[in-house]
Amino acid sequence: MTTLRPFTCDDMYKFNNVNLDPLTETYGLSFYMQYLAHWPEYFQVAESPSGEIMGYIMGKAEGHGENWHGHVMFAK
């Protein structure tokens, strides 16, 4: 059974297998750290019982006044 949990900085060293999909782009550590620092509540990991990362979701919210919107990126 896969469980969802908050993404941690250490997960950046474990999610390479997820990003091997040809449609998934891998960014530098600073990109992931920026998202994690600004929007930690929108950054989740799907983890197998053995601790392997099966996928992750990155999100962010941006805007001003009434023009707020969000972006969600995922990899599996």
Residue 59 exposed, middle or buried by CB count within 10 Å (0-12, 13-18, 19+): middle
Domain 3-75 has CATH 3.40.630.30: yes
What is the arithmetic mean of pLDDT over 44-70? 86
**Does residue 64 surpass a pLDDT of 90?**
no
Within 10 angstroms of residue 40's Cβ, the number of other Cβ atoms is 12
Helix (H, G, I), strand (E, B) or coil at 40: helix
What whole-number distance in Å separates Cα of residue 15 and Cα of residue 26? 10
Ranges of each domain in the chain:
3-75
3-12 pLDDT, tens digit per residue, is 999 999 998 8
Token reading at 64 = 């001003």
Cβ–Cβ < 8 Å for 15, 7: no
